[in-house]
């Protein structure tokens, strides 16, 4: 049985469980993901995630609500300093900088329609439904206009690197309750825990949400090096220094013989 067929059978099984949830007054999202663990090996070229599931409405077909689905995939957050370069006296130099406390290393939004057709800007900002609504948590004193300019610069930089993206037609909805979305992870993704947040929206309101976790880990020799560096930082540093000294001594001996 193909992976795609197994995924859809799983979603149908979840849909058949709807009678068990009739005590709920609001719809319930039941999300799944094709890979909960992505292994990054040498030569890793990226991965394609399939996020799918069902919207279970206890009201059944009587409600006949047309849902929109938005999926937001976020990578581990990290502090970042964004520098701006300007040409001074004919030389490109750092002219200013801004610090952000929690910029996501990866951010992708996939929706059944353009976000502006689904919710208003206030709701989009609350749930971070778009790259312009990412909550970056700037530090220090900075004018709002300057902050917005640096934020746009960060988003544009990471869009070019394939780390931030939006797909206004990336979610397919079948029978009004089953959905699926595909999001590509590039080869330069940061390892760590990723969260896939799915929102069911109708009439401009978020009626249900659910989260699935995805782990991106390095394996093989690279994974061993990362594990050793994280757990035994002092010994890793000493070993790196010793290796550098040895390589320098070896290179000197080889050149001396030549």
Give the model confidence (pLDDT) of 179-211 as tens digits.
Answer: 999 999 999 999 999 999 999 999 999 999 999
Mean pLDDT of 207-219: 91
Alpha helices in 131-232 (DSSP H): 144-160, 220-231
Task: Say how far apart CA 244 and CA 237 lie, in whole Å.
Answer: 11
Residue 44, pLDDT score: 85
The model's pTM is 0.73
Q: Which residues contact 93 (CB under 8 A, 6 or more apart)?
A: 85, 86, 87
Residue 163, pLDDT score: 95
Q: Residue 139: which pLDDT band, with cuts at 50, 70 and 90? A: confident
Residue 83, pLDDT score: 74
Residue 21, pLDDT score: 46
Are the C-beta atoms of residues 110 and 67 closer than 8 Å to each other? no
Q: Residue 11: which pLDDT band, with cuts at 50, 70 and 90? A: low
pLDDT tens profile 39-86: 888 888 889 999 999 988 776 544 556 789 999 999 999 888 877 666
Query: Phi/psi of residue 131, each to 5°?
Result: -65, -30
Residue 22, pLDDT score: 45
23 by Cβ neighbours in 10 Å (0-12 / 13-18 / 19+) ranks as exposed
Q: Kindly report the average pLDDT of the chain as a whole number.
A: 79
Q: Which residues contact 204 (CB under 8 A, 6 or more apart)?
A: 118, 119, 120, 123
pLDDT tens profile 33-49: 998 899 888 888 889 99
Q: Does residue 140 surpass a pLDDT of 90?
A: no
Are the C-beta atoms of residues 102 and 45 closer than 8 Å to each other? no
CA dihedral 127, 105, 46, 240 (to 10 degrees): -160
pLDDT tens profile 149-167: 888 888 999 999 999 999 9
Residue 57, pLDDT score: 77
Task: Say how far apart CA 47 and CA 162 lie, in whole Å.
Answer: 13
Residue 223, pLDDT score: 47
Q: CB count, 10 Å around CB of 185?
A: 23
DSSP, res 186: P
Q: Residue 218: which pLDDT band, with cuts at 50, 70 and 90? A: confident
Task: Say how far apart CA 51 and CA 183 lie, in whole Å.
Answer: 8
């Amino acid at each position: 049985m193909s992976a795609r067929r197994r995924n859809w059978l799983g979603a149908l099984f979840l849909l058949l469980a709807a009678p068990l949830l009739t005590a709920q007054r609001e719809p319930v999202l039941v999300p799944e993901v094709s890979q909960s663990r992505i292994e990054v090996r040498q030569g890793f070229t990226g991965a394609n995630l399939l996020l799918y599931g069902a919207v279970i409405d206890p009201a059944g077909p009587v409600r006949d609500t047309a849902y929109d689905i938005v999926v937001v995939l976020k990578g581990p957050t990290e502090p970042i300093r964004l520098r701006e370069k300007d040409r001074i006296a004919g030389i490109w130099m750092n002219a200013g900088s801004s610090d952000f406390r929690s910029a996501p290393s990866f951010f992708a939004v996939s929706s059944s329609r353009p976000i502006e057709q689904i919710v208003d800007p206030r709701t989009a900002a609350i749930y971070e439904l778009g790259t312009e609504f990412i909550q970056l948590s700037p530090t220090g004193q900075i004018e709002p206009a300057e902050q917005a300019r640096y934020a746009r610069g960060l988003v544009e930089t990471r869009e070019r690197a394939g780390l931030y993206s939006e797909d206004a037609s990336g979610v397919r909805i079948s029978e009004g309750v089953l959905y699926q979305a595909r999001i590509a992870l590039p080869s330069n993704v940061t390892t760590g825990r990723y969260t896939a947040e799915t929102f069911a929206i109708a009439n401009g309101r978020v009626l249900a949400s659910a989260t699935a976790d995805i782990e991106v880990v390095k394996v093989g020799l690279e994974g061993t090096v990362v594990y050793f560096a994280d757990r035994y930082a002092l010994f890793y540093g000493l070993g790196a220094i010793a290796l550098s000294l040895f390589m320098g001594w070896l290179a000197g001996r080889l050149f001396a013989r030549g």
